[in-house]
């Protein structure tokens, strides 16, 4: 079953979207190995887990979108929701809860962390993920063209846009040689994202200074630190938790008068 891309990056251009080849089979009620799944039968359950609620997102919104695919909540489908509220360490427990409910499909649009937690919880229930990172690099699937097992999904690859982000940021703030990078250290791709951005900055002649934040309470201290270090601009990591707090991040950037992307 195709799932609405609600867990992608917030406000960032998408360079490439990879829809893994088995996704069409999921939509037609087939699992990743071509077997008939329970989706569409009376009483079928579809589960959904995500790291954090995206700004303005509600359970009813997702249920409405499900209805547009021919499923009716309470009639031929039931959607179970689990929200980690920004706590990545909760994902294994939430995944296990959903697997114990014997759902027909497990949707994990909360990035690599949600997908890996779902994959670790079951090798039988079809899993549909949405991520901005490379799912092959992080072991979610073995191939983009032929994902194996019970896992398939969409790779937007927003986390590969570091060179373009720095180029656009340079056009907005040409004098900014020191660029702050707001990163969530609890995101499993935090180290990879930081390394890629620093590599791109070496080409543009800029310097990247990472600042960590993994809870809303850490935003203020992170912004105070980047101002203290006289960062000339800011790039925000494509992270599900950050994506769910756009107003907070934008307000702090405006308050500190720092160009941000």
On average, the pLDDT of the chain sits at: 77
User: Do 104 and 40 touch, CB atoms closer than 8 A?
Assistant: no
- So what's the pLDDT on residue 167? 85
Q: Is 58 helix (H, G, I), strand (E, B) or coil?
A: coil
78 φ/ψ angles, rounded to the nearest 5 degrees: -130, 135
Closest CA to 169 of 226, 234, 223: 234
Provide DSSP, 11-48.
S---S--EE-TTHHHHHTTB-TTS-B-STTSTTEEEEE
pLDDT in tens, 80-131: 888 887 788 889 999 999 999 888 899 888 888 999 999 999 999 999 998 8
Distance CA 144, CA 137 (A): 10
**pLDDT at site 62:** 53
pLDDT tens digits along 142-171: 988 888 899 999 888 776 787 888 888 888
Q: Report pLDDT for 158.
A: 74
Which of the pair, 209 or 9, is modelled with greater confidence? Answer: 209
Q: How far apart are CA 45 and CA 59, in angstroms?
A: 15
- pLDDT at res. 31: 35
Whose tokens are 């986390």? That residue is 159
Distances (CA, A) of 133 to 39, 46, 57, 189: 28, 24, 22, 8
Query: Cα(10)–Cα(156) distance, rounded to whole angstroms?
Result: 12
pLDDT at residue 195, rounded to an integer: 92
pLDDT tens sequence across 22-79: 333 333 333 333 333 333 233 345 555 555 443 334 454 455 555 566 777 777 778 8
Pick the more confident residue, 17 or 108: 108
% of the chain residues with pLDDT over 90: 39
pLDDT score recorded for residue 204:
84
For position 191, what pLDDT does the model report? 93
C-alpha span between 89 and 55 (Å, rounded) = 21
| Contact partners, residue 68, CB within 8 Å, separation at least 6 | none
d(CA 112, CA 129): 8
- Ordered by where they begin, the domains of the chain are 18-158 (3.40.50.2300), 161-255 (3.40.50.2300)
């Amino acid at each position: 079953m195709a799932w609405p891309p609600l867990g992608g990056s917030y406000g960032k251009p998408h360079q490439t979207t990879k829809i893994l080849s088995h996704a069409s089979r999921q939509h037609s009620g087939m699992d990743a190995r071509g077997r008939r799944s329970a989706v569409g039968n009376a009483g079928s359950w579809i589960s959904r887990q995500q790291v954090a609620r995206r700004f303005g997102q509600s359970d009813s919104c997702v249920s409405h979108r499900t209805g547009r695919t021919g499923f009716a909540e309470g009639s031929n489908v039931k959607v179970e929701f689990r929200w980690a509220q920004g706590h990545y360490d909760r994902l294994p427990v939430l995944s296990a809860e959903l697997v114990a409910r014997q759902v027909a499909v497990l949707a994990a649009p909360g990035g690599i962390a949600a997908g890996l937690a779902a994959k670790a919880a079951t090798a039988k229930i079809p899993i549909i993920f949405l991520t901005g990172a490379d799912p092959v690099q992080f072991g979610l699937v073995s191939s983009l063209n032929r994902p194996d097992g019970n896992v398939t999904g969409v790779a937007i690859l927003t986390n590969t846009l570091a060179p373009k982000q720095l180029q656009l940021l340079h056009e907005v703030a040409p004098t900014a040689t020191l660029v702050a990078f707001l990163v969530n250290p609890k995101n499993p791709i935090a180290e990879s994202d930081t390394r890629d951005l620093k590599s791109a900055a070496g080409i543009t002649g800029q310097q990247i200074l990472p600042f960590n934040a993994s809870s809303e309470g850490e935003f203020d201290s992170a912004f105070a630190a980047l101002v203290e270090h006289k960062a000339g601009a800011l790039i925000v990591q494509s992270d599900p938790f950050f994506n769910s707090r756009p107003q907070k991040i934008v307000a702090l950037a405006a308050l500190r008068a720092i160009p941000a992307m």
